[in-house]
Amino acid sequence: MAGPRSEALFERGRKVLVEGVSSASRGPAAFGTTPRYMSHGQGARLYDVDGRAYIDWMMAFGALPLGHAHPKIAEVLAREGARGSHFATALEVEVEVAEMLVNLLPHVDKVRFANTGTEAAMGAFRLARGHTGRRKIIKFEGHYHGWWDAVLLNTNPYPPTLLGHPNDPIRIPDSSGIPEEAWKDTIVVRWNDVEALECAMALHGRDAACVVTEGVMANMGVIPPKPGYLNRMQELSRQYGALFYLDETVTGFRLAAGGCAELYGLSPDIVTYGKALGGGLPMAMIGGRDEIMAGLEWGKVLHFGTHNAGRLALHVTKVMLEEMLADDQAGFRRIKNLGKAMADEIRKVAKHSNRHAVICQGVNSMFQIFFTEVEEIADYRDFCRHVDRVKFRDFAVRLMDKGIYMNPSATLHSLSSIVHTEDDIALTAQAIAEVLEEMP
Ligand SMILES: Cc1ncc(COP(=O)(O)O)c(C=O)c1O
């Protein structure tokens, strides 16, 4: 249960803020109850206004690979903040960070900075359409690319009876207020299914500006790609002259220094990054090969933004990259080992629970717990059919009462940061075991 100060803030907040918060994923829609209002963070801990501490496995939806209030980030913010917050001019640090990124990512010759994953994706889709002169976008069931009208389709788990035939998914916009014209050129395909993709490409490939995918499905828990699947997707995209667009908003600077592209040996035509890139500040980017990125020059394909390449965010991005890449990428090794260790511990606890059927799926620093009777969740349809989301929310809220913070939505995931410890893993495993014992 939220403490008295959170309760009081919620009372006040809901009078002046929609749902008392600024995103449905932070309020009663996600928690089913009063959200906990946080006051500060330090290392792997979040502290709420009632003075309770939580081991944070949400890490601002993955934005904090260095954890909370990392001393170097606090220092650079104090130093650079005193020199001015935002200029909206060309900056030295902008060039420096772009150089670091281009050196790190073999598939990226040039970058363009934005603020959020959604904005970067909007720019990337427009660029893909501008570059190819084509209109169609091929996207996958259960994949989220931000809240832009054209791609906000089939990103929520719906009852299996609404999904239609797997060869021809029924397109379901996830919000009111989205006109049909916005998504008439968006084709939705089943993910992790080569045949479904081959059929879709045969039908639409020649009109497709891009095929867009998350490298690991990270908005339906954590669902890894089947071996070779993404490589085949890249091949098919090239074969039909569509751009292969890898959305690394979640996986970039997370699963490896080079994200899913590195992990699965891909060379996407366009990529977007966000979340971890900014180390906690709003920072996102579009990247790609010269001849594609050239489409943005002189506003041929327009991409603007008052807050693009914010100097404070760029300074923090630079610190994040330096810290994670130091000592031959030790930071990336650390978050990977910690994430895998946490997932393994959860699996052990789950195995010993004779009260609940639970599995844990993960890739490197990302993992998610599913309440399900099946052994594996391999795609969106499995998720819709077999994952008990109500039970997961109950589980996550109970965990909060024991000082462990995981996002209460089964469609999201947990993440390690460099400041988590073996002790945090042991404490979390213990709390999970207790909750599984207590839960009805
Ligand atoms: C794969 C993916 N792309 C894009 C976005 C949108 O990013 P943002 O929330 O920064 O707009 C998200 C957000 O969760 C995401 O998971």
Per-residue pLDDT of the chain (440 residues; tens, 9 = 90+): 899 999 999 999 999 999 999 988 888 988 888 999 999 999 999 999 999 999 999 999 999 999 999 999 999 999 999 999 999 999 999 999 999 999 999 999 999 999 999 999 999 999 999 999 999 999 999 999 999 999 999 999 999 999 999 999 999 999 999 999 999 999 999 999 999 999 999 999 999 999 999 999 999 999 999 999 999 999 999 999 999 999 999 999 999 999 999 999 999 999 999 999 999 999 999 999 999 999 999 999 999 999 999 999 999 999 999 999 999 999 999 999 999 999 999 999 999 988 999 999 999 999 999 999 999 999 999 999 999 999 999 999 999 999 999 999 999 999 999 999 999 999 999 999 999 999 99
Q: Which residues contact 211 (CB under 8 A, 6 or more apart)?
A: 138, 139, 201, 233, 236, 237, 242, 243, 244, 245
Q: How far apart are CA 22 and CA 41, in angstroms?
A: 19
Nearest to residue 169, comparing CAs of 182, 188, 184? Answer: 188
| Cβ-based burial of 385 (10 A; exposed 0-12, middle 13-18, buried ≥19) | middle
Q: Cα dist. 6→12, 129, 232, 301 in Å?
A: 10, 46, 49, 46
Q: Which pLDDT value is given to residue 307? A: 97
Q: Which domain holds residue 280?
A: 71-322
What integer pLDDT is reported at residue 251 of this predicted model?
A: 98
Q: Which of 113, 118, 214 to mutate to test the pocket of ligand 1 (most atoms within 8 A of CB)?
A: 118
* 133 located within any domain: yes
Q: CA 234 from chain center: how many Å?
A: 21
- The CA–CA distances, whole Å, from 13 to 36, 53, 85, 391 equal 12, 22, 28, 27
55 is a domain residue? no
Residue 245 lies in a domain: yes
- Is the CB of 144 within 6 Å of ligand 1? yes
Share in percent of the chain as helix, strand, coil (round to 5): 45, 20, 35
Q: Note the pLDDT of residue 250.
A: 98
Q: How far apart, in Å, are the Cα atoms of 215 and each of 48, 143, 175, 263, 264?
A: 34, 10, 24, 9, 8
What residue owns the CA closest to ligand 1's atom 7? 117
Pocket of ligand 1 contains residue 274 by CB under 6 Å: yes
Number of CB atoms found within 10 A of residue 206's CB: 12
Distance from C-alpha of 142 to C-alpha of 64, rounded to nearest angstrom: 24
Q: Is the dihedral of CA 218, 129, 261, 277 positive or negative?
A: negative
> Ligand 1 centroid vs 349 CA: distance in angstroms?
31
CA 132, CA 209: separation in Å to the nearest integer? 6
**pLDDT for 24:** 87
- E strands, 215-327, are 243-247, 270-273, 284-288
CATH assignment of the domain containing 247: 3.40.640.10
User: Counting atoms of ligand 1 from 1, which one is nearest the CA of 115?
Assistant: 10
Tell me, using a 6 A CB cutoff, whether residue 415 lines ligand 1: no
**Long-range contacts for 160-164 (Cβ within 8 Å, ≥24 apart)?**
160/381, 160/384, 160/385, 163/381, 163/384
User: Does ligand 1 come within 6 angstroms of the Cβ of 193?
Assistant: no
> pLDDT value at position 356?
96
C-alpha span between 322 and 279 (Å, rounded): 11
Q: How far, in Å, CA of 367 to CA of 144, rounded?
A: 17
Q: Which residues sit opposite 55 in a β-bridge?
A: 45, 404
Q: How far apart are CA 36 and CA 8, in angstroms?
A: 11
Going from the Cα of 8 to the center of ligand 1, the distance in angstroms, rounded, reads 31
**What spacing in Å lies between the alpha carbon of 249 and ligand 1's midpoint?**
6
DSSP 136-157: EEEEETT----S-GGG-BS-S-
Contacts 24+ apart (CB under 8 A), 177-183: 178/149, 178/152, 179/149, 182/149, 182/150, 183/149, 183/150, 183/151, 183/152, 183/153
Q: Is residue 272 part of a domain?
A: yes
- The verdict on residue 36 lying in a domain is no
Q: Please give the pLDDT value at position 340.
A: 98
Using DSSP, how many helices (H) and how many strands (E) does the chain show? 15, 16
What DSSP assignment string belongs to 160-195? GGGSEETTEEPP-BSSTT--HHHHTTEEEE-TT-HH
Predicted local distance difference test score (pLDDT) of residue 128: 98
146 alpha carbon – ligand 1 mean position (Å): 5
Phi, psi (deg, nearest 5) at residue 388 = -90, 100
> Cβ of 52: how many Cβ atoms within 10 Å?
18
Q: Which atom of ligand 1 is nearest to the CA of 119?
A: 11
| Nearest residue to 287 (alpha-carbon basis) of 255, 322, 254, 248 | 248
Q: Is 249 in the pocket of ligand 1 (CB under 6 A)?
A: yes
The answer to whether 223 and 379 are in contact (CB under 8 A) is yes
- Looking up tokens 């993709």, which residue turns up? 197
Number of domains in the chain: 1
Report whether residue 248 contacts ligand 1, using a CB cutoff of 6 Å: no
Whether 250 lines ligand 1, by a CB cut-off of 6 Å, is yes
Residue 435 lies inside a defined structural domain of this protein: no
Nearest-angstrom CA–CA distance, 178 and 222: 28
Strands of 45-48's sheet in order across? 38-42, 45-48, 53-56, 404-405
Q: Tell me, what amino acid is at 44?
A: A
Examine residue 143 and state whether it is found in any structural domain, yes or no. yes
- 312 with 278: CB under 8 angstroms? no
What is the spatial order of strands in the sheet that 414-415 belongs to? 358-363, 366-371, 414-415
Please check whether residue 288 lies inside any domain of the structure. yes
| 332 CB within 6 A, ligand 1 | no
